Copies of this chain bind each other. A is one copy, B any other.
């Protein structure tokens, strides 16, 4: 999207937008007067003229009486095509979508908690030591869910399984034995996603 829009702007307009983006990022824009000072202009009308053009072309928008740079500019550039595009722009034209991991992983919901995985008991399904696991807090879970359970007063991440003897926790690693609760099973929540930092 970025590149498509950019073609509608003059060099100066684009420069202005880039400075604006660097200066205020995803925050609400302050008053014309303040922007004037921050960007070293001498008349706040310069700012007004630029912002009106940018607003018309959807680079900025009004939310709750405040101006913002279009939030899409701060999301991740997701490339869906597996095929490499042409030379120059290399691939800006292949960006079909903008995404936010905080949104995808529902970070804002009060029931969402994040834990750090410790140990390799879930490595067979690609959950490793030190991964972040995103947990939705809820008591109920069904067979097959990856749950954060409380065993011996400690949190543990396992797959919830069921057999003739009842519910139990299955580590996803052949070297670990299943965990059977003495009485009942305390479930803190279910895993809705993971994130791993590689570098």
Are B126 and A196 touching (Cβ within 8 A)? yes
Are B123 and A77 touching (Cβ within 8 A)? no
With contacts A30-B65, A194-B198 taken as known, whether A76 is within 8 angstroms of B102 at the C-beta atoms is yes
Closest B residue, CB atoms, query A123: B126
Are A77 and B114 touching (Cβ within 8 A)? yes
Q: Bits for A78-113, please: 1 = Cβ < 8 Å to B, else 0.
A: 111011100000010001000111101101100011
Are A100 and B107 touching (Cβ within 8 A)? yes
Contact-residue bracket for chain A:
35 or more
Within 8 A of B (CB), among A5-37: 24-25, 27-31, 34
A56 close to chain B: CB less than 8 A: no
Give A contacts to B, CB under 8 Å: 24-25, 27-31, 34, 63-66, 68, 74-80, 82-84, 91, 95, 99-102, 104-105, 107-108, 112-116, 118, 123, 126-128, 131-132, 134, 136, 146, 150, 153-155, 188, 190-199
